[in-house]
Structure 1
């Protein structure tokens, strides 16, 4: 097996799979700013096995994006081998399995984080996937959830239970979100839990890569939390919105103790380039997806409110450039 994870310099900085965000254009932008690994949007094993044209299009990537990891999700363990083989044929670098998504459309149907309520299925999914392909397989999950939804007295299922269920299987990496299912995005991450989980992961998979995740907002907090948890790296999510240069800033801070704030000309150039890449990789109808990115790029400007009114109507990179280029 060609395990790209083992060849990366630590700390490893990656994206995470985000629906409607981590398409090819976004991944190319993140790579240009120093991301070590990028992820596709998460894709359904059911859709892959039914040869969904929309889903297959989500597997497209440029060579410059590698290593690219495809995250797959679904609750039917029998579909994972076929889905993994379909992914492997694309030349992708690795596969990640979604055991962490709290979104209603995934978890509400028993997928994502809610799969942890049946660790036999979790084990079956990972065993079948790792046996099906000669690719490094990673998993992404959260620190825990209640055994029975809405019943605190039922007790919790933790990431430690999750790892125990998989301890003899060949995991390449674990990405762990430092919040539980019940409080998915708000409040601080549980750094003590992330630290303890990392220690256990390394005891079970000494050669495995352990990445922490959880909306870390500042360069300083990322570096401090990496040091505290002793993780091999960090997977960035929402903190990247409108700030793909975080990758470079984090690396600069680790190497030199300093980093530069990004000026408006650089932000503008990145936003326009992002728009051009999205235009090239998708059809005109889907360019509307660029609008949400643009709103993040201009966040913090004194004229952001006025700009948002214009940017929510753009239909091409030329229109984006026409609005942004005159600004100083």
Structure 2
């Protein structure tokens, strides 16, 4: 009986795959691209373990082992401010982006005029498609210390005596980057939460209304709990990107006055790999970042599973 059930289960699985064969074929190009551009380059990790020199064969190179990995922690204190900057801005951005999108989707869902709600959603989604180069140009026009529109307005109104250097003063660097990221990704992230709201059965609201629940109680007891699972999944997925920063964003906004608070791991790897041409060291730092990110997502997933019972694996 057990073998017959096992064979039946296998036949059902094979039949299901046969029915969905076109879906698998549609996924095939994406799988091939991910394999080519994400997994094949992993062979280059060997550079971190050898005395690599461009233009020479890899195999005869001298084996250095874990020397470059140790150099990251023993030569100076680069890792201290790098991890400080990366974690501070990325964790701040993660919390700000998710919570702002969560609240925005909640408020947007309460707009009774459907066309106005769609207009607001479209306007907030637009910045997601604007490149960081354009955002940098707008930021310079608005927040430049001498000729920025914001500073000129504040000085003209007598609120401040001289312009504030938002883009150069290190004490504003973290908040400025987190704020720009929240503005850019608000519309995109809110779409995910709006989708989770749409999946809540309408019967829940009807039953609550029959029981005399008001608008606020329906939001608090039905909408918010229905959005929390999506929030947890996004938190788990994004935890693996805490050490990964948007290279274009930080490359554009980093300058000689704020670099101490702006240099993150991705900029550091770029500097040593493509500017100083220290390929083994840059590769070693990249490998460290990858394994720490993997550990983070596994740890957050385990913590979420233990605390809330919800996890992605």
Provide the TM-score with structure 2 as the length reference.
Answer: 0.22
- Structure with higher strand content: 1
Higher-Rg structure is 2
Query: Could you say which structure has the greater relative contact order, defined with CA pairs below 8 angstroms and 6 or more residues apart?
Result: 2
